[in-house]
Amino acid sequence: MSMPTVRMPVVAGEAEHWYQDAVIYELHVRSFADSNDDGIGDFRGLTQRLDYLQDLGVTALWLLPFYPSPLRDDGYDIANYRAINPAYGTMRDFKRFLRAAHDRGLRVITELVLNHTSDEHAWFQRARRAPAGSPERDFYVWSDTPDLYPEARIIFQDFEASNWTWDPVAGAYFWHRFYSHQPDLNWENPEVEREMFDIVDYWLEMGVDGLRLDAVPYLFEREGTNCENLPETHQALKALRRHVDERFPGRMLLAEANQWPEDAVAYFGDGDECHMAFHFPLMPRMFMSVRMEDRYPLVDILAQTPPLPEGSQWAIFLRNHDELTLEMVTDEERDYMYRVYAEDPQARINLGIRRRLAPLLGNDRRVIELVNALLLTLPGTPVIYYGDEIGMGDNFYLGDRNAVRTPMQWSGDRNGGFSRANPQRLFLPVIADPEYGAVNVEAQQSNASSLLWWMKRMIGLRKRHTAFRGSIEFLLSENRHVLAFVREYEEERILVVANLSRRAQYVELDVRHLDGLVPEELIGHTEFPPLSAERPYVLTLGPHDFFLFALHVPEPRPGDAAAPPPAIRSSNGWAGVFERRGRTQLEEALAKHLPRQRWFAAKSRKIRRVSVGDAMRLGPVRGEPVGYLCLIDVELTDGEPETYVLPLAARRVDDAPHDDPIAVVRGGEGDVLLVDGADDPAVARALLELIRRRRRVAGRSGSLEGVPERSLRRLAAGHDLTPAPLGAEQSNSSIAFGQGLIMKLFRKAEAGTNPEAELGGLLSAKGFEHVPRTAGVLEYRRAKGAPSLRAQGPGLLMVNEPQVGG
């Protein structure tokens, strides 16, 4: 039994690809929360609301532009790239926000507007006054006639008649793809690139995790082309990527390229341009599919989407801060979309629809859930637009795209809890529509059936499953109202079946290649009959219903040869089994391991879900851990949840066979077995040391604390303390330390003081002779406000004098 514990190396792992498993939340500082009641949201307000975002479960925040700006395009008209708009706070406020977000594990993505500046930017003011042909003038694109590049389309077609505007100061026309107050930078000029790279360094050095590259297809112009997606533009992006990779590995570039899939995919290069790009054409097709009650638009666009280079990832979305753009659809499709989603011409702007998600979908909860389920399960990193998680309304009587940029609604207080300012002072009015005025976070937090709670559960579900990082395969049945697909990554497979129709449907799925797999419905954890090669799998779905099934390899039946331990992939050794992907696999392995244990009390009940409530590192303060003391939360299909105490240790696969390994950890430096560490001498010694030295070890949600009694010193001093396991009883496991001490590990953790430990403590304090005296206990104290962990208080473990009195 005295197998050496294996120390697992800690290597930089998957963290570099964080954006592939992210859930992004898009917000504008100005509209989120106002801390100083001047009617404008600010960084302090946002920082105060980080708890909310963490609780929602998103993993990254994308902030719309917050730089000094005349705000004629909501900040996309930048006047200074290296400062904070004073209305939103100071640079200190920004840095505090960034730190607070990082402390919560939230990444931060900001805007990099490469294509144009505001006409108030110093570069433009300098350019228009500088002599023609000078480097200063050449920061922008000038012409004596407005006739150049006639094939370039006009994007803001409701506002601009030409991409050229006359500047009387320069005495020349300047080029602009957007508003005429947004002159395009001249990327032919190497000085422009140098300045931009400096700006990139400025923000990445500060710690920003990712940059959204605004309007990226338009950097270069060439006569005879539409001036989009030019080879020169791709060259510039490759140079930017090289620059970032050399200095800031692990940061992310996200391309905003509103293009057809084959043009959009070019922004990934060969894995040497952007890490991510928005999938614009997919977005309207999600809306088309539900409205037409037909999977065709969705399946078709994904079939047209080329595969991505390694490490690349789409960003997918339902709504954002702009109009729902209809540029990437055919004319007929656009007519259809206008007809069904924007009957009121007031709702239309440019080539799109200025509405939020809930009003677009007639505030139909089932449809809102359905499209969000698609967002969270189709290939790509989901981007959620602020307010859509509570089903906020819009106001298309406000100008431009302000319909969807109104203040976040926090509560039923004045201004929706956004600000205490006089309502007339707000940067935009709060939604007052009778149907949507009452929508707010506070009301929905207190109702577990609200959209907000549904979103939280679905975001949580998505994050637990790595299959969403992997491939997609459609199961095409005869019934086109039903969309079915399998997502797969490494060992995990998830089947998604969605009824796009407002009528109940049944579907017969061809599952021949999935023969024998057992579907587990992921919201209620009900096991469905196995898939079979013999016959189609028949499912019935209510209106706009959808199912998410994990497809499991069936459990071996009694009498089958012993199944090999489940595998956990970790490129990060020990730590990796507690990180997102490893953690899910560990939890699944534990769900199989626990019912086999004598001390597992709920044997007769079925496990719904196992989660690692907390894990505390054991061993020397510095160096590698000898193990972890874990609190394992077990949800059961019926009855109260339970929490178990499980020390984890690892040993090398070839050291010696273990009769009940929990899992095998693959990757890193060779495979190791993860085992119950209750009989591991190194773990036992580490636990005793915690008590003897009165040490504290912090976990994620609380901390372990050793509490020695005075007697411990006497009992331990000068004695042989070689640990020897005494085996597991019904509810605990014991280890003897030489002749002097016995350690008892209580397997089931209860809130409050363990009665046995408390009794032992009381009696030994009173000097009772005939009970084992408590020489110390190990306590777990839950941190204030930590997620619900049932174990707390004294009594995870105690050490006793073995033979007392007598």
Binding region for ligand NOJ (CB under 6 A) = 73, 76, 113, 178, 214-215, 256, 321-322
Residue 73 interacting with Ca ion (CB under 5 A): no
SS3 335: helix
Q: Which of 221, 256, 322, 614 is catalytic?
A: 256
Name the minimum Å distance from CB 87 to Ca ion.
Answer: 7
DSSP assignments along 707-755, one per residue: EE-HHHHHHHTTS---EEEEEE-SSEEEEEETTTEEEEEESEE-SS--H
Task: Considering the complex, state which of residue 19 and residue 178 has its C-beta at the smaller distance from ligand NOJ.
Answer: 178
Q: Which does 73 bind (CB under 5 to 8 A by kind): Ca ion, ligand NOJ, none?
A: ligand NOJ
CB burial readout 62-80, b (16+ within 10 A) else e: bbbbbbbbebbbbbbbbbe
**Minimum Å distance from CB 424 to Ca ion?**
15
Helix (H, G, I), strand (E, B) or coil at 798: strand
- Whether the CB-CB separation of 456 and 52 falls below 8 Å is answered with no
Judged by beta carbon, residue 149 or residue 278, the one nearer ligand NOJ is 278
Residue from 7, 16, 38, 199 touching Ca ion (CB under 5 A): that is 38
- The stretch near Ca ion (CB under 5 A) out of 33-41, 76-84, 425-433, 683-691 is 33-41
With CB cut-offs between 5 and 8 Å by kind, which of ligand NOJ, Ca ion, none does residue 40 bind? Ca ion
In the complex with ligand NOJ, the residue whose CB is nearer, 76 or 124, is 76
Q: Are 251 and 311 in contact (CB under 8 A)?
A: no
Q: Of 28-36, 473-481, 693-701, 745-753, which part binds Ca ion (CB under 5 A)?
A: 28-36
Instruction: Report what 241 binds from Ca ion, ligand NOJ, none; CB cut-off 5-8 Å by kind.
Output: none
Q: How far apart are CA 272 and CA 238, in angstroms?
A: 6
- Report the nearest approach of ligand NOJ to the CB of residue 321 (Å): 6
Our CA angle for 148, 150, 151, nearest 5°, is: 135
CB-based contacts of 421, cutoff 8 Å, min separation 6: 34, 37, 38, 39, 415
What whole-number distance in Å separates Cα of residue 631 and Cα of residue 633?
6
Nearest CB to ligand NOJ, comparing residues 117 and 611: 117
Please, which residue, 383 or 483, has the CB nearer to ligand NOJ? 383
Among 21, 42, 322, 389, binds Ca ion (CB under 5 A): 42
Partner in contact with 215, chosen from ligand NOJ, Ca ion, none, beta carbon below 5 to 8 Å by kind: ligand NOJ
Q: What stretches of 116-266 adopt beta strand conformation (E)?
A: 142-143, 164-167, 172-175, 210-214, 252-255
- Between 118 and 305, whose beta carbon lies closer to ligand NOJ? 118
Is-catalytic flag, 256? yes
Residue nearer to ligand NOJ on the CB measure, 178 or 427: 178
Question: Which residues, 6 or more positions from 799, have their beta carbon under 8 angstroms from its beta carbon?
Answer: 688, 691, 712, 737, 741, 742, 743, 744, 774, 775, 776, 777
- Min CB(74)–ligand NOJ separation in Å: 6
Break the chain down into helix, strand, coil percent, rounded to 5. 30, 25, 45
Question: In this complex, which beta carbon is closest to ligand NOJ, that of residue 226 or of residue 753?
Answer: 226
40 is a site residue for Ca ion (CB under 5 A): yes
User: Among residues 214, 679, 680, 709, which one is catalytic?
Assistant: 214
400 contact, one of ligand NOJ, Ca ion, none, CB 5-8 Å limit per kind? none
Least Å from the CB of residue 302 to Ca ion: 42
What does the alpha-carbon distance between residue 730 and residue 633 come to, in Å, rounded to a whole number?
19
Q: Which of 2, 12, 36, 504 binds Ca ion (CB under 5 A)?
A: 36
Burial call 238-272: b when 16+ CB within 10 Å, e when fewer: eebbebbeeebeebbbbbbbbbbbeebbbbbbeee
Identify residue 564 by its one-letter amino acid code: P
Supply the minimum distance, in Å, between the C-beta of residue 33 and Ca ion: 9
CB of 436 to ligand NOJ, least distance (A): 23
178 binds, among Ca ion, ligand NOJ, none (CB under 5 to 8 A by kind): ligand NOJ
Nearer to Ca ion, 90 or 753 (CB): 90
Q: Minimum distance between the CB of residue 315 and ligand NOJ, rounded to whole angstroms?
A: 13
Q: Which amino acid is at 431?
A: I
Specify the residue, 35 or 305, whose C-beta has the smaller distance to Ca ion.
35
- The entry of ligand NOJ, Ca ion, none that residue 614 binds, CB within 5 to 8 Å by partner kind: none
- Which single residue brings its beta carbon nearest to Ca ion? 42
CB of 352 to ligand NOJ, least distance (A): 11
Q: Which helix (H) or strand (E) holds 92?
A: helix 91-103
Cβ partners under 8 Å of residue 711, min gap 6: 764, 773, 775, 801
- Residue 739 interacts with which of Ca ion, ligand NOJ, none, CB < 5 to 8 Å by class: none
Q: Please, which residue, 163 or 402, has the CB nearer to Ca ion?
A: 402
Using alpha carbons only, what angle is made at residue 491 by residues 479 and 302, rounded to the nearest 5 degrees? 40
SS3 584: helix
Q: Let me know: does 354 contact 401? Beta carbons within 8 Å.
A: yes
Q: Give min distance, CB of 39 to Ca ion, in A.
A: 7
Q: What residues have CB less than 8 Å from 620, skipping those under 6 apart?
A: none
Least Å distance, CB 30 to Ca ion, is 9
Count residues contacting Ca ion (CB under 5 A)? 5
Among Ca ion, ligand NOJ, none, residue 273 binds (CB under 5-8 Å by kind): none
Task: Give yes or no for residue 34 binding Ca ion (CB under 5 A).
Answer: yes
425-433 contact pairs (CB < 8 A, 24+): 425/38, 425/39, 426/39, 426/40, 427/30, 427/31, 427/39, 427/40, 427/41, 428/31, 428/398, 428/402, 429/395, 429/398, 430/406, 431/392, 431/393, 431/394, 431/395, 431/406, 432/395, 433/393, 433/395
Give yes or no: 223 in active site.
no
Binding segment (CB under 5 A) for Ca ion, from list 26-34, 224-232, 234-242, 476-484: 26-34
Binding mask 568-597 for Ca ion (x = CB under 5 A): ------------------------------
CA atoms of 514 and 327, how far apart (whole Å): 39
Q: How far apart are CA 194 and CA 778, in angstroms?
A: 59
Q: Is 160 in the site for Ca ion (CB under 5 A)?
A: no
Lookup: tokens for 708: 């020695």
**Measured from the CB of residue 257, what is the shortest distance to ligand NOJ in angstroms?**
10
Q: Please check whether residue 32 is in contact with residue 64, taking contact to mean a CB–CB distance below 8 angstroms.
A: no
Least separation in angstroms between residue 64's CB and ligand NOJ is 8
| Angstrom distance (rounded) from CA 135 to CA 439 | 53
Task: State the binding partner of 38 from Ca ion, ligand NOJ, none, CB within 5 to 8 A by kind.
Answer: Ca ion
SS (H, E, C) 178-199: CCCCCCEECCCCHHHHHHHHHH
* CB closest to ligand NOJ, residue no: 76
42 binds, among ligand NOJ, Ca ion, none (CB under 5 to 8 A by kind): Ca ion
Buried b (16+ CB within 10 A) or exposed e, 679-710: bbbbbbbbbbebbbeeeebebbbbbbbbbbbe
Q: Which does 36 bind (CB under 5 to 8 A by kind): ligand NOJ, Ca ion, none?
A: Ca ion
End-to-end Cα, the chain, rounded Å: 32
Between residues 214 and 676, which has the closer beta carbon with respect to ligand NOJ?
Answer: 214
Q: Which tokens hold the place of 507?
A: 């579907």
The entry of Ca ion, ligand NOJ, none that residue 34 binds, CB within 5 to 8 Å by partner kind? Ca ion
β-strand partners of 213: 112, 255
Nearer to ligand NOJ by C-beta: 372 or 402?
Answer: 402
Residues forming contacts to Ca ion in the complex (CB under 5 A) are: 34, 36, 38, 40, 42
Q: Any idea which residues carry the catalytic annotation?
A: 214, 256
